[in-house]
């Protein structure tokens, strides 16, 4: 067949002209459809244009262009994401939990600015998704990244390119100013509620685990090594700011919000300009009332000082700007009915009663289960199977049953009786005196084994990418892994035939497992799942002892000498190493090469410029990990504690700092930011 017969241009120059026409037309229709929500042509007509362009680029490969609308999909999977340093820090926001706190924010700013008259604010919905930054160079999408720790994120360019509403090349709509030579725009990637529900239905039909909520679905889709998977997910984006710009000056936040759409960048049209804090509080209340009718999830309102000069004058404290605040909505609650109560087994053997619910939509997420915590809570709240209950979901936490909804109980309600044997292995259950939780004491209980492996592989522990719940369950049920040490013996050939695996994923998984051998001691300690040893305690122990061997023989006195380690943790650590099975596990791990190097130097120097000084860290530091900062303090003779008290000498306030910063202020403890800390330890940035 000749090219003419297929409707393709006969010459390269004609193809070039037609290609440019098609690209411009498709980009315009993308903008009309995705950004303005106002399409001019039918989906069929759009598909024909895209089809023609695809055929044309295939016939004339010399016309290939990464910014062509055909290039949104089809890139090969990556092995891992590369780090992406942000041209300017991506700050986070401090929160206001009430209108009163929002007004305090305004009062604080006016004091600082010595200002009587009202401040003008921009108020915007706080999208509940994933923060991203996209850099355009000469108008072409050059890089997209996640926020990461605010300084360095992950390069997810290939994935962001698959978002249809994100221009690969900035547009210039009528009346829009020319776009700057280089600009980093920031926004929130998200999934609309209807799209999220459709995706979950498809997943359930395909036997896959549904996502818990649109935010998880978004983050899971963007932190995907295979861009083809991301391309199949209905991700959208709203931009809300500029991180860095060359060759142009904006004067207000409002100007930014008005300018971006002219370049094809979507902004939320529910943003409003507010004269003074009363108007901003009224906006918050309006949005709270409108929240349930919105097609996407928001978790609050962001109020920003509009004037960028004022923003600059106000500056930032500890990673969050003084000029903005996130006003959070209260947790969402709905009523539904408990259909049954089951007991689930955690990795420590802890048994948690879980209420199965008639599915209920709580702010965009279908909730089917909620925790009842323990028997005491069930008794205290007098919760029975068949009861109508109020269920609450707040942020990241597991939904919980708040209380029984008053009203007549039907005759069908039933009291829940805690099982006397483990529901998974029929092993004995123990309940320690004065403790609310009950435990399955059989360490070989399959449910515990599975949960231990999952915890071991989780991101904050050994961080084994690709070893999710499904795979662990499969490997455990097939008897291929009975303990975490078995992971290191797995071979790609054994894994490839497993359901939904294949050679490529099997190879990736084996590589990810192998890489985890290099994790530092603190992570291994956390991964081992020693009771009461969370991430922070694991860091303290690793920094103080430097090796597993040293920790294994530590006496109670050595342990409690560490600030932040009390008798309970000390006993738990000692019990762990006393248990023969645990010692064997460590030996087996070491035999497969999981053996963090000894770091005797990590131990605390008795003398040093920081001798006797107690540090508490809150929030993340950009220049070093928690382990490194703790080690630096110890090496100079100081101590690190996990909680602020009057004995604390310094609180180092990092990114997304928690309540410890406030507590320090209350107790009059000195706080310092990262720069001051780096200077103090002799490593100025």
CB of 96 to ligand IVH, least distance (A): 13
Residue whose CB is less far from ligand IVH, 271 or 461: 271
Question: Of the candidates 27, 52, 124, 133, which one interacts with ligand IVH according to CB under 6 A?
Answer: 124
CB of 87 to ligand IVH, least distance (A): 15
What are the C-alpha distances in Å from 282 to residues 104, 273, 279, 606?
A: 15, 12, 5, 57
Residue whose CB is less far from ligand IVH, 299 or 387: 299
Describe the crossing of helices 535-545 and 626-635 by its angle, rounded to 10 degrees: 40
Both structure tokens of 348: 């420590």
CB of 266 to ligand IVH, least distance (A): 12
CB of 34 to ligand IVH, least distance (A): 19
- What's the rounded Cα separation, in Å, for the pair 307 and 177? 20
Contact 311, 649 (CB under 8 A): no
CB of 671 to ligand IVH, least distance (A): 20
Kindly identify the residues of this chain, within the stretch 178-217, that bind ligand IVH according to CB under 6 A. Answer: 188
Residue whose CB is less far from ligand IVH, 271 or 680: 271
| Region of 91-99, 100-108, 154-162, 211-219 interacting with ligand IVH (CB under 6 A) | 91-99
- What's the rounded Cα separation, in Å, for the pair 484 and 582? 11
Residue whose CB is less far from ligand IVH, 70 or 146: 146
Binding of residue 156 to ligand IVH (CB under 6 A): no
Residue whose CB is less far from ligand IVH, 302 or 551: 302
Half-sphere exposure of 482 (CA within 13 A, CB side): 7
CB of 539 to ligand IVH, least distance (A): 25
Q: Which of 126, 328, 450, 639 does the annotation list as catalytic? A: 126
Residue whose CB is less far from ligand IVH, 131 or 476: 131
Residue whose CB is less far from ligand IVH, 237 or 530: 237
Binding of residue 240 to ligand IVH (CB under 6 A): yes
CB of 321 to ligand IVH, least distance (A): 5
**What φ, ψ does residue 158 adopt, rounded to 5°?**
-60, -35
Residue whose CB is less far from ligand IVH, 27 or 655: 655
- 676: helix, strand or coil: helix
470 noted as active-site residue: no
Residue whose CB is less far from ligand IVH, 93 or 438: 93
CB of 240 to ligand IVH, least distance (A): 4
Question: Of the candidates 148, 210, 241, 353, which one interacts with ligand IVH according to CB under 6 A?
Answer: 241
Tell me which DSSP letter residue 79 carries: S
CB of 205 to ligand IVH, least distance (A): 31
Binding of residue 654 to ligand IVH (CB under 6 A): no
Both structure tokens of 26: 């498709």
Both structure tokens of 499: 């359901």
Kindly identify the residues of this chain, within the stretch 501-530, that bind ligand IVH according to CB under 6 A. Answer: none
Tell me which DSSP letter residue 114 carries: T
Closest CA to 536 of 589, 615, 609: 615
Question: Of the candidates 126, 179, 393, 626, which one interacts with ligand IVH according to CB under 6 A?
Answer: 126
**What φ, ψ does residue 97 adopt, rounded to 5°?**
-95, -10
Dihedral sign of CA atoms 10, 14, 17, 21 in order: negative
What are the C-alpha distances in Å from 625 to residues 291, 318, 357, 620?
A: 38, 16, 41, 7
Residue whose CB is less far from ligand IVH, 280 or 429: 280
Kindly identify the residues of this chain, within the stretch 34-63, that bind ligand IVH according to CB under 6 A. Answer: none
Question: Of the candidates 237, 302, 559, 594, which one interacts with ligand IVH according to CB under 6 A?
Answer: 302
Angle at 136 between CA 131 and CA 138, to 5 degrees: 170
Both structure tokens of 639: 């101590």
- What's the rounded Cα separation, in Å, for the pair 340 and 41? 51
- What's the rounded Cα separation, in Å, for the pair 318 and 671? 10
Question: Of the candidates 92, 159, 213, 374, which one interacts with ligand IVH according to CB under 6 A?
Answer: 92
- What's the rounded Cα separation, in Å, for the pair 492 and 502? 9
Binding of residue 151 to ligand IVH (CB under 6 A): no
| Region of 90-98, 443-451, 549-557, 666-674 interacting with ligand IVH (CB under 6 A) | 90-98
Total interface residues for ligand IVH by CB under 6 A: 13
| Site mask for ligand IVH (CB under 6 A), range 450-489, x = bound | ----------------------------------------
| Region of 122-130, 151-159, 206-214, 220-228 interacting with ligand IVH (CB under 6 A) | 122-130
Residue whose CB is less far from ligand IVH, 127 or 308: 127
**What φ, ψ does residue 573 adopt, rounded to 5°?**
-65, -45
The order of strands in the sheet holding 95-96 is: 95-96, 324-328, 298-305, 120-127, 272-275
- 362: helix, strand or coil: strand
CB of 324 to ligand IVH, least distance (A): 5
Binding of residue 321 to ligand IVH (CB under 6 A): yes
- What's the rounded Cα separation, in Å, for the pair 472 and 187? 35
| Region of 44-52, 57-65, 108-116, 123-131 interacting with ligand IVH (CB under 6 A) | 123-131
Burial of 77 (0-12, 13-18, 19+ CB in 10 A): middle
Residue whose CB is less far from ligand IVH, 121 or 650: 121
- 27: helix, strand or coil: helix
> If you write DSSP's letter for every residue of 49-66 in order, what string do you get?
HHHHHHHHHHH-GGG--T
Describe the crossing of helices 277-290 and 99-112 by its angle, rounded to 10 degrees: 150
CB of 587 to ligand IVH, least distance (A): 43
User: What residue is closest to ligand IVH based on CB?
Assistant: 131
CB of 327 to ligand IVH, least distance (A): 11
- What's the rounded Cα separation, in Å, for the pair 485 and 449? 12
Question: Of the candidates 53, 127, 168, 636, which one interacts with ligand IVH according to CB under 6 A?
Answer: 127
- 647: helix, strand or coil: coil
Contact 32, 39 (CB under 8 A): yes
| Region of 87-95, 158-166, 337-345, 411-419 interacting with ligand IVH (CB under 6 A) | 87-95
Dihedral sign of CA atoms 58, 63, 68, 72 in order: positive
Binding of residue 131 to ligand IVH (CB under 6 A): yes
- What's the rounded Cα separation, in Å, for the pair 36 and 473? 45
Binding of residue 91 to ligand IVH (CB under 6 A): yes
Contact 61, 67 (CB under 8 A): no
What are the C-alpha distances in Å from 607 to residues 219, 546, 616?
A: 46, 18, 19
| Region of 121-129, 278-286, 339-347, 392-400 interacting with ligand IVH (CB under 6 A) | 121-129
Active site residues: 126
Applying CB under 6 A, the residues found at the interface with ligand IVH are: 91-93, 124, 126-127, 131, 188, 240-241, 302, 321, 324
């Amino acid at each position: 067949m000749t090219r003419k017969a297929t409707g393709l241009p006969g010459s390269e120059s004609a193809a070039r002209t037609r290609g440019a026409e098609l690209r411009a037309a498709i980009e315009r229709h993308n903008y009309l459809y995705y950004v303005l929500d106002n399409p001019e042509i039918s989906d069929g007509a759009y598909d024909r244009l895209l089809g023609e362009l695809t055929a044309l680029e295939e016939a004339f490969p010399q016309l290939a262009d990464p910014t062509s609308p055909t290039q949104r999909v089809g890139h090969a999977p990556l092995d891992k994401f590369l780090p992406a340093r942000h041209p300017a820090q991506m700050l986070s926001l401090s929160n206001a939990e009430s209108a009163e706190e929002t007004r305090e924010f305004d009062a604080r700013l006016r004091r600082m600015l010595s200002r009587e008259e009202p401040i003008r604010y921009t108020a915007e919905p706080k999208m509940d998704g994933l923060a991203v930054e996209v850099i355009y160079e000469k108008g072409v999408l050059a890089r997209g990244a996640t926020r990461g720790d605010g300084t360095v994120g992950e390069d997810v360019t290939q994935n962001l390119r698959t978002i249809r509403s994100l221009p690969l090349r900035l547009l210039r709509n009528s009346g829009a100013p020319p776009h700057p030579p280089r600009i980093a725009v920031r926004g929130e990637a998200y999934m609309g509620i209807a799209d999220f529900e459709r995706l979950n239905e498809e997943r359930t039909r395909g036997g896959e685990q549904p996502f818990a909520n649109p935010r998880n679905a978004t983050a899971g889709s963007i932190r995907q090594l295979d861009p083809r998977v991301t391309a199949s997910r209905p991700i959208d984006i709203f931009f809300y700011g500029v991180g860095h710009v060359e060759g142009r000056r904006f004067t207000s936040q409002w100007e930014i919000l008005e300018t971006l759409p002219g370049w094809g960048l979507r902004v939320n049209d529910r943003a409003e300009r507010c004269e003074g804090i009363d108007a901003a509080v009224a906006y918050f209340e309006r949005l709270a009332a409108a929240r349930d009718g919105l097609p996407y999830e928001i978790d609050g309102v962001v109020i920003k000082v509009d004037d960028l000069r004022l923003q600059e004058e106000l500056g930032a404290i500890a990673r969050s700007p003084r000029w903005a605040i996130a006003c959070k909505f209260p947790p969402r609650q709905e009523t539904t009915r408990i259909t049954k109560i089951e007991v689930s087994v955690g990795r420590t053997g802890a048994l948690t009663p879980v209420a199965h619910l008639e599915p209920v939509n709580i702010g965009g997420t279908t909730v089917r289960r909620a925790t009842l915590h323990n028997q005491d809570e069930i008794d205290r709240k007098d919760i029975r199977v068949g009861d109508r209950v109020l269920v609450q979901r707040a942020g990241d936490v597991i939904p919980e049953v708040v209380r029984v909804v008053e009203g007549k109980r039907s005759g069908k309600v039933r009291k829940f009786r805690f099982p006397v044997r483990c529901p998974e292995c029929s092993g004995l259950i123990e309940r320690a005196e004065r403790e609310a939780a009950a435990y399955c004491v059989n360490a070989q209980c399959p449910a515990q084994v599975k949960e231990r492996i999952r915890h071991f592989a989780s991101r904050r522990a050994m961080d084994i990418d690709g070893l999710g719940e499904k795979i662990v369950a499969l490997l455990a049920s097939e008897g291929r892994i009975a303990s975490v040490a078995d992971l290191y013996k797995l071979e790609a050939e054994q894994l490839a035939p497993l359901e939904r695996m294949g050679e490529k994923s099997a190879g990736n998984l084996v590589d990810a497992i192998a890489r985890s051998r290099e994790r530092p001691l603190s992570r291994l300690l956390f991964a081992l799942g020693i009771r009461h040893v969370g991430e922070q305690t694991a860091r303290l122990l690793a920094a103080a002892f430097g090796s597993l061997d040293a920790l294994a023989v530590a006496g109670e006195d050595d342990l409690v000498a560490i600030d932040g380690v009390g008798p309970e943790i000390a006993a738990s650590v000692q019990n762990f190493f006393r248990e023969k099975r645990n010692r064997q596990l460590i030996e087996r791990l070491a035999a497969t090469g999981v053996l963090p190097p000894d770091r005797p130097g990590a131990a605390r120097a008795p003398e040093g410029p920081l001798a006797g000084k107690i540090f508490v860290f809150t929030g993340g530091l950009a220049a070093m990990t928690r382990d490194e900062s703790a080690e630096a303090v110890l090496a100079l003779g100081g101590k690190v504690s996990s909680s602020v008290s009057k004995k604390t000498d310094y609180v180092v306030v990092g990114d997304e700092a928690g309540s410890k910063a406030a507590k320090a202020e209350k107790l009059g403890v000195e706080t310092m930011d990262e720069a001051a800390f780096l200077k103090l330890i002799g490593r100025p940035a």
